[in-house]
């Protein structure tokens, strides 16, 4: 049996509301195995996945697919179309469905209580439904968003067993490095396909960038030399002009006039001008060939914290919080003081997001003393966020765009797009929130959908933030760097969740 492959030829695509093309005469050939797709938010990663799987139609060009294709979106607001088929196969005795069901720690009630599932549980159900289809090409868009560390490891093991053309967009550096054998980098300039995982591709790209920088320095030296030479030739030509002029001769100097006429006849009077023109052309051609290094905007935002007057932001008594389906979360007495940075940890479905919502509604937080960013922004709220942004005064909008740019966003893309990508929406939500000072940040998986440079910029900003922080994040490096205490949720065999203060 021949191995699956993907061929793309002459692909052109742009959104109706966009000024620039997303892809222009794009070409790509991939065979079996996983390919990482990297680049800044808005660079076309999700668009390319949707074009390849037929969810979007290209303006022109040809996509030769290996057979059945399937796209797994970043968003999990709605149940995947394949979820019903998955459970039908499970109940009919399909061994593969049974194995996925067990390995991903799914539950039989999930299809009936989608709205009460955690985003991590939804993501596991989405991936199980996709993998059961066994498509010849599988396009995964941020598959580890919302997943706890144990679930991430399970997903990585399962994806290693996939045999087909795999396309992976992710900000999970470990997954990119452990799974992918080549990396496609999209964004400014021509798309580049590198052999090797994400880290090797970045290393090679940085090496090429340094080499390009050195070449550029040498080119600029040669450009300065050519400019000096052109100037010298111009000065010589100007001097020779006087030699071919008869104005300085005595009217009776017939011999002098004959010599000048002879030189003009021989064409010596125009040679200087021709040399100057030739040198000018050489300089212009040289300047066209100079390829300067790609300029990168400065990243990094500053988060200001207002002084908090009280001793603590909230206090909760010891109690049980309902999680639905006869499940609950038992919590001890809880309080968050003005100088604390707390990590809220626990498995998917344990009640982390529920506890945060409980704190927001029952913790007696006052308006203006806290900022909350959920792990997912529903589509209706995304449109409301865009409406609020476009309704800002010019000065305020400029401040938001400054934060947006320093989170590795492209302001022009934000203004031109009627519906930005999930990563762009995440950056906009952060920028809208961070341009005003606040003494407490409550962040639920803030790095979801962010590209890696944006994530590092956010990490640095939060590290320097002087206010209080309550953080949910499954990125252990990110979480451990920014917090000094933890509240940990554990579950027993009956599904009872308990919060422990560490």
Higher pLDDT, 16 or 273: 16
Separation in Å, CA 143 to CA 53, 121, 124, 178: 16, 12, 9, 14
Separation in Å, CA 98 to CA 108, 113, 322: 11, 20, 30
Residues 299-331: tens digit of each pLDDT? 556 666 677 788 889 999 999 998 877 788 999
Query: What does the pLDDT average to over 200-217?
Result: 69
In this prediction, residue 172 carries a pLDDT of 84
Answer for the pair 414, 3: CB distance below 8 angstroms, yes or no: no
What are the phi and psi torsion angles at 106 (to 5°)? -85, 170
Mean pLDDT comparison of 13-27, 56-70, 234-248, highest-scoring range: 56-70
Q: Which two tokens stand for residue 37?
A: 């797709």
Q: Tell me the domain boundaries of the chain.
A: 5-189, 207-289, 312-501
Residues 412-465: tens digit of each pLDDT? 767 666 667 788 888 888 888 777 778 899 999 998 888 777 888 888 888 888
What CA–CA distance (Å, rounded) separates 464 from 458? Answer: 10
Rounded to 10 deg, the angle between the 394-406 and 422-434 helix axes is 120
Q: Is residue 71's pLDDT more than 80? A: yes
Q: What single-letter DSSP state applies at residue 209?
A: H
In this prediction, residue 18 carries a pLDDT of 67
**H/E element, 335:** strand 334-337
Tell the CATH superfamily of the 5-189 domain: P-loop containing nucleotide triphosphate hydrolases (3.40.50.300)
Higher pLDDT, 169 or 303: 169
Rounded to 10 deg, the angle between the 149-160 and 119-133 helix axes is 10
Beta-carbon neighbour count of residue 161 at 10 Å? 7
- Weakest-pLDDT range from 43-57, 113-127, 370-384: 370-384
**Which CATH code fits 312-501?**
3.40.50.300
Q: Do domains 5-189 and 312-501 have the same CATH topology?
A: yes
For the chain, give the percent of residues with pLDDT over 90: 33
Bin 267: left if φ > 0, else alpha if -120 < ψ < 50, else beta.
Answer: left
In this prediction, residue 285 carries a pLDDT of 66
Nearest by Cα to 117 from 59, 78, 74, 84 = 78
Going by C-beta distance under 8 Å and a sequence separation of 6 or more, which residues neighbour residue 387? none
Higher pLDDT, 183 or 402: 183
Separation in Å, CA 170 to CA 39, 144, 226, 252: 10, 8, 47, 88
Separation in Å, CA 477 to CA 97, 143, 455: 33, 19, 11
């Amino acid at each position: 049996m021949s191995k699956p492959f993907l061929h793309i030829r002459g692909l052109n695509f742009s959104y109706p509301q966009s000024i620039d093309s997303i892809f222009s005469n794009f070409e790509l050939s991939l065979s079996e195995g996983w390919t990482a797709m990297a680049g800044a938010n808005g660079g076309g990663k999700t668009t390319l996945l949707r074009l390849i799987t037929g969810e979007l139609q290209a303006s022109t060009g040809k996509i030769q697919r290996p057979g059945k294709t399937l796209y797994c979106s970043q968003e999990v607001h709605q149940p995947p179309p394949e979820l019903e088929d998955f459970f039908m196969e499970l109940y009919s005795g399909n061994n593969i469905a049974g194995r996925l069901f067990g390995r991903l720690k799914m539950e039989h009630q999930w299809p009936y209580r989608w709205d009460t599932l955690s985003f991590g549980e939804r993501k596991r159900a989405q991936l199980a439904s996709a993998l059961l289809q066994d498509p010849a090409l599988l396009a995964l868009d941020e598959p580890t968003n919302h997943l706890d560390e144990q679930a991430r490891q399970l997903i990585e093991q399962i994806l290693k067993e996939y045999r087909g053309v795999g396309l992976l967009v992710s900000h999970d550096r470990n997954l990119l490095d452990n799974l992918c054998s080549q990396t496609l980098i999209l964004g400014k300039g021509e798309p580049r396909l590198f052999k090797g995982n994400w880290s090797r591709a970045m290393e090679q790209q940085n090496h090429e960038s340094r080499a390009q920088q050195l070449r550029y320095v040498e080119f600029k030296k040669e450009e300065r030399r050519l400019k000096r030479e052109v100037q010298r030739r111009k000065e010589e030509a100007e001097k020779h002009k006087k030699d071919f002029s008869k104005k300085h001769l005595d009217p009776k100097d017939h011999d002098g006039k004959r010599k000048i006429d002879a030189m003009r006849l021989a064409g010596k009077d125009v040679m200087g001008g021709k040399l100057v023109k030739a040198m000018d052309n050489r300089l212009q051609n040289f300047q066209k060939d100079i390829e300067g290094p790609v300029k990168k905007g400065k990243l990094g935002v500053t988060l200001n914290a207002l002084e908090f007057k009280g001793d603590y932001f909230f206090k909760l008594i010891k109690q049980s919080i309902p999680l639905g389906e006869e499940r609950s979360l038992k919590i001890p007495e809880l309080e968050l003081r003005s100088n604390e940075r707390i990590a809220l940890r626990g498995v998917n479905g344990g009640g982390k997001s529920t506890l945060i919502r409980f704190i927001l509604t029952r913790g007696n937080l006052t308006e203006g003393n806290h900022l909350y960013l959920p792990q997912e922004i529903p589509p209706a709220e995304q449109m409301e966020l865009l409406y609020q942004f476009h309704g800002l005064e010019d000065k305020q909008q400029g401040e938001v765009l400054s934060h947006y740019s320093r989170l590795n966003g492209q302001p022009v893309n934000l203004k031109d797009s009627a519906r930005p990508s999930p990563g762009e929406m995440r950056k906009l939500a952060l920028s809208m929130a961070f341009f005003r000072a606040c003494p407490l940040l409550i962040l639920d998986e803030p790095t979801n959908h962010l590209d890696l440079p944006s994530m590092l910029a956010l990490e640095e900003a939060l590290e320097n933030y002087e206010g209080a922080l309550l953080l949910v994040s499954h990125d252990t490096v990110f979480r451990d760097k920014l917090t000094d205490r933890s509240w940990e949720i554990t579950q027993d065999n009956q599904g009872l969740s308990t919060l422990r203060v560490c």
